[in-house]
Structure 1
Amino acid sequence: MPVDQIPIGTFSRITRLSQKALRLYDERGLLVPAARDICTGYRYYTFAQTERGIHIRHLLWLGFGLSEVDAILGARERGDSAMIREHFARRLAATEQEIGRLHAIAEALRTQDPLNGGFRMSITEPVIKDIPAMRALSRRERGVYQEAIPRLIGELCADIFPAEGRKPAAKVTGPIMFICHDEEYQETDAAIEVAIPITGSVNLDGTAVEVVTLPSGRFLSVLHTGPYPGVGKAYERLFAYMGEHGLAPAGPSRELYLNDPAEVLEDELLTEVQFPVEEIPPSP
């Protein structure tokens, strides 16, 4: 065996990458052995490849996926520092978001009641409301609920109430709301809309905000008091009521945020959940 050919076991110890991982990286073209025994298929590497192996291990430790690692190493070989910085910036943003989520979980574990599903909350009895059509300002995109909803709300409020004391873009007539256009929970590609009812003229030059008309309808409604992660219990109550009274969902649900999380405690957050409903026709 040539001096510069390193058996896969030794290469694994040097790079601290398992042999199973090295076989996978070979299949993916990410780290291909310099030589392979014709009879046994045994893999051999060179000392020059150890640097690439160590870079792969470090990037994986930072949380990058294999396709991202491949792209970063390719950019490094081309000297494309801008692409590398872009990948690192995205990874940093995702890491900071995850840190925020973990801090929220830690706080919940410290403070919430484990005998009540973890949340201190209350839910009113469902009521049916006839809600008229209303004009609203809206922003929509596809994304992750936990990230996109608060960001879009912030962007919409910034568009309506510009800084420097300028005149508001419209007269607001109701609370801001999240409208869910998906029929089932979407992990990463949810159809998300945030909207706020308005009246009168609108001045929104140069923004991504749309003027829409939210449809009228017969809505089943409950008021949830407590942290936002517990709002799922409100939906549970609504669907139980629908089943008990022969009703079915008839369109996108709405969550109306009735107070500001920056001004009240989590236990005092008020969320009205509205679901358009229709009667299930009797079986023939």
Structure 2
Amino acid sequence: MPVDQIPIGTFSQITRLSQKALRLYDERGLLVPAARDICTGYRYYTFAQVERGIRIRHLLWLGFGLSEVETILDARERGDAGTIRDLFRARLAETEREVGRLHAIAEVLRVQDPLNGGFRMSITEPVIKEIPSLRALSRRERGVYQEAIPRLIGELCAYVYPADGRQPAARVAGPIMFVCHDEEYRETDADIEVAIPITGSVNLDGSAIEVRTLPGGRFVSVLHTGPYGGVGKAYERLFAYMGEHGLAPAGPSRELYLNDPAEVPEDELMTEVQFPVTDLPLSP
């Protein structure tokens, strides 16, 4: 065996990639052995391939999938830094979302109430409200709830309260709200709208923000106090109430954020959940 050929077992030890993984990378063309024994099929690598093997392991450790690893390594060979930057930026955003989710889980576990599913919270009894139509600043897009909602809130707040000291772009007439247009929960590609009720004139100045009228009508409402992660219990209570009173959803639900998470502890966060409703038809 030539001195510059490394058996797959030794190469596995050097790169910290299992032999099973190396066989898979060979099949995918990601890391093809420099030589193969004709009789046994045994794989041999060169010292020049060690760097690529270590780079693959590092990218996998960062959380990239194999297809992304292939794209990154191909881009590196072409000198395409832009593609690599875009992939790293997307991976960073995904990692930060996961970090935020894990921090929220850790906080719930730290202060959990075992008899209440891990949440310190309270939910008021549902009430029926007649809510007028609302003129509102709105931003709507598809995305991931945990990332899109706080970002869209930030964009609307920055527009209403300019950081450069200019006069507010609009007069706020109610709490920030999230309007859910999907009929089911979506991990990705959710139809997300964030809105702030306003009065008076507003200058959009070419912004992606728009002014629209949120429809009024009859809504069933509850007030949830506690971490945002427990708001699902409010929906559970609303749907139970609708079933008990012969009501059916008649449009998108709304979550109204009544205080600022930067100013109050998680267990004091107040979220009003509203659902437009209509009477179910009477059975014949």
Fold match (TM-score > 0.5): yes
Instruction: Find the counterpart in structure 1 of residue 249 from structure 2.
Output: 249
Tell me the alpha carbon deviations over residues 201-260 of structure 1, each in whole angstroms, 9 at most, x when there is no partner: 111203210111111222111111111111111001011112222222221110001111
Tell me the alpha carbon deviations over residues 103-126 of structure 1, each in whole angstroms, 9 at most, x when there is no partner: 332222222322221111111111
- What is the CA–CA distance in structure 1 between the aligned matches of 2:42 and 2:264, rounded to whole Å? 64
Identity of aligned residues (%): 85
Within-5 A mapping of 1:15-30:
15-30=15-30
Task: Give ranges in structure 2 of 5+ residues lacking alignment.
Answer: none
Within-5 A mapping of 1:209-224:
209-224=209-224
Within-5 A mapping of 1:1-284:
2-37=2-37, 41-284=41-284
- What is the CA–CA distance in structure 1 between the aligned matches of 2:183 and 2:29, rounded to whole Å? 39
Q: CA RMSD in A?
A: 2.0
State the TM-score, normalized to the length of structure 1.
0.92
What is the CA-CA distance between 1:130 and the residue it aligns to? 2.0
What is the CA-CA distance between 1:37 and the residue it aligns to? 4.7
Q: Which amino acid aligns with 1:189?
A: D
Tell me the alpha carbon deviations over residues 139-162 of structure 1, each in whole angstroms, 9 at most, x when there is no partner: 111111111111110110101111
What is the CA-CA distance between 1:26 and the residue it aligns to? 2.4
Q: SS of 1:48's equivalent? A: helix
| Residues 111 and 120, structure 2, Cα contact 8 Å, conserved in 1 | no
Change (3 A) 1:34 1:231: same
Q: SS of 2:251's equivalent? A: coil
Instruction: Select between 85-94 and 262-271 the one with higher mean Cα deviation.
Output: 85-94
Aligned residue pair count: 284
- What is the CA–CA distance in structure 1 between the aligned matches of 2:245 and 2:39, rounded to whole Å? 72
What is the CA-CA distance between 1:42 and the residue it aligns to? 4.1
| Residues 176 and 194, structure 2, Cα contact 8 Å, conserved in 1 | yes
Task: Give ranges in structure 1 of 5+ residues lacking alignment.
Answer: none
- What is the CA–CA distance in structure 2 between the aligned matches of 1:104 and 1:2, rounded to whole Å? 55
